[in-house]
């Protein structure tokens, strides 16, 4: 491991300012992804800013009836929170489908959004990877790509975003609240938070250098029936081949987001207007521009079948 310096931040603004001051700095909280990447020397921060003392571990209902989730709320605590279980069931279910109990006890809300791809070529430093080493090529293109993305891909990268939680947050229209190094704050809609790979797959989200997530805010409860279905190679502690998050209202309208298919949680609002035509109608819009490989073409019919099953369950 490469040597690094370390400090403990005492306020969000101070943490963001410290990140701007120290070239190559990283924030660390749960560390469930970052520390693994540091051991492999895929991440080599010169400076670590520990944000665990920032008191961002509360879940509060705002005066507007929104739910504000602190960036440091652990995944286990978020999944078990009464308001989340009652009003945002799709989020609770997605969280419980992710990782293992031990990891959920440690992983934070912000860290979950920021976790990096599980593409095996990204983790193998003997392989080319445009995300790890821009310009070096992509081992997955022409390699083994069963787990990889089928939509929103580019010639530079076909990686997926591994989070279950983020898929539920996308279907819930969450907002990501941040503080920047100059102390100003902003709110980023989750739809705009994660990016597609394009020619710069090493850029994965809309955060500016030093910008720190302080909370994620969920709009007032949307009602309806919430379902999260994750299809994977084994029953636990595995990343999604595909996942489906839905909220279905009594009148048959609803929302759909997918995981395991793109570099970001995948939602196309126009596809939701096809709900009356069932899963086939929705998927024909949702995955209209799918670009598959021989290894992962199975994901298109898998999404359709998973969605059909989930819609059937949601409609009772
Ligand atoms: Fe790297 Fe992306 Fe290619 Fe995987 S798919 S090897 S992360 S460039």
| pLDDT tens digits, 96-154 | 999 999 999 999 999 999 999 999 999 999 999 999 999 999 999 999 999 999 999 99
Going from the Cα of 218 to the center of ligand 1, the distance in angstroms, rounded, reads: 31
Q: In this structure, what token pair is assigned to residue 207?
A: 């955060």
Going from the Cα of 157 to the center of ligand 1, the distance in angstroms, rounded, reads: 5
3-class secondary structure, 26: strand
Q: In this structure, what token pair is assigned to residue 249?
A: 């209202």
CB within 8 Å of 312: residues ≥ 6 apart = none
**What's the confidence (pLDDT) of residue 315?**
86
Cβ–ligand 1 contact at 42 (below 6 Å): no
Going from the Cα of 112 to the center of ligand 1, the distance in angstroms, rounded, reads: 20
3-state helix, strand, coil in the chain (%, to 5): 30, 20, 50
Going from the Cα of 136 to the center of ligand 1, the distance in angstroms, rounded, reads: 10
Torsion angle in degrees (nearest 10) through CA of 182, 186, 190, 193: -30
**What's the confidence (pLDDT) of residue 48?**
98
- pLDDT, one tens digit per residue, over 269-315 is 999 999 999 999 999 999 999 999 999 999 999 999 999 999 999 98
Cβ–ligand 1 contact at 241 (below 6 Å): no
pLDDT at 204 over 80: yes
Of 80, 83, 90, 27, nearest in space to 56 by CA: 27
pTM of the model: 0.98
Q: What is the mean pLDDT of residues 34-50?
A: 97
Which secondary-structure segment (H or E) carries 120? helix 120-123
**Rounded-to-integer distance, Cα 187 and Cα 176, Å:** 5
- pLDDT, one tens digit per residue, over 65-94 is 999 999 999 999 999 999 999 999 999 999
Q: What is the mean pLDDT of residues 197-201?
A: 98
Q: How confident is the model at residue 28 (pLDDT cuts 50, 70, 90)?
A: very high
Cβ–ligand 1 contact at 79 (below 6 Å): no
**What's the confidence (pLDDT) of residue 236?**
87
* Residue 21: other Cβ atoms inside 10 A: 12
Q: What is the mean pLDDT of residues 174-178?
A: 98
Cβ–ligand 1 contact at 302 (below 6 Å): no
Beta carbons of 129 and 136 less than 8 angstroms apart: yes
**What's the confidence (pLDDT) of residue 1?**
72
**What's the confidence (pLDDT) of residue 104?**
97
- pLDDT, one tens digit per residue, over 210-265 is 999 999 999 999 999 999 999 999 988 899 999 999 999 999 999 999 999 999 99
Cβ–ligand 1 contact at 145 (below 6 Å): no
Q: What is the mean pLDDT of residues 203-208?
A: 98
* Residue 136: other Cβ atoms inside 10 A: 12
- pLDDT, one tens digit per residue, over 56-67 is 999 999 999 999
Beta carbons of 79 and 95 less than 8 angstroms apart: yes
């Amino acid at each position: 491991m490469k040597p690094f310096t370390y400090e403990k931040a005492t306020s969000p603004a101070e943490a963001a300012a410290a990140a701007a001051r120290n070239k190559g700095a990283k924030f660390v909280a749960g560390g469930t992804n970052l520390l693994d990447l540091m051991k492999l020397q895929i991440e080599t921060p010169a400076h670590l800013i520990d944000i665990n003392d920032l008191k961002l571990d509360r879940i509060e209902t705002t005066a507007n009836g929104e739910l504000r989730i602190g960036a440091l709320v652990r995944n286990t605590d978020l999944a078990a929170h009464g308001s989340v279980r009652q009003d945002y069931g799709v989020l609770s279910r997605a969280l419980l489908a992710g990782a293992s109990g031990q990891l959920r006890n440690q992983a934070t809300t912000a860290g979950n959004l920021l976790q990096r791809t599980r593409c095996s070529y990204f983790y193998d430093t003997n392989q080319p990877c445009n995300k790890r080493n821009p310009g070096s090529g992509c081992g997955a293109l022409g390699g083994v790509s069963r787990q990889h993305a089928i939509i929103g891909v580019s010639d530079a990268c076909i990686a997926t975003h591994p989070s279950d939680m983020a898929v539920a947050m996308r279907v819930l229209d969450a907002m990501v609240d941040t503080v920047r190094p100059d102390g100003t704050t902003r709110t980023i809609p989750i739809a705009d938070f994660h990016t597609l790979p394009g020619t710069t797959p090493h850029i994965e989200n809309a955060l500016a250098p030093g910008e720190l997530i302080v909370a994620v805010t969920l709009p007032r409860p949307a009602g309806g029936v919430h379902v999260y279905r994750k299809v994977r190679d084994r029953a636990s502690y595995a990343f999604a081949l595909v996942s489906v998050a839905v909220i279905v209202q009594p009148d048959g309208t609803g929302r759909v987001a997918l995981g395991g298919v793109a570099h970001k949680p995948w939602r196309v609002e126009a596809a939701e207007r096809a709900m009356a035509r069932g899963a086939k109608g929705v998927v024909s819009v949702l995955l209209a521009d799918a670009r598959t490989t021989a290894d992962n073409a199975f994901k298109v019919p898998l999404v359709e079948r998973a969605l059909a099953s989930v819609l059937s369950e949601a409609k009772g």
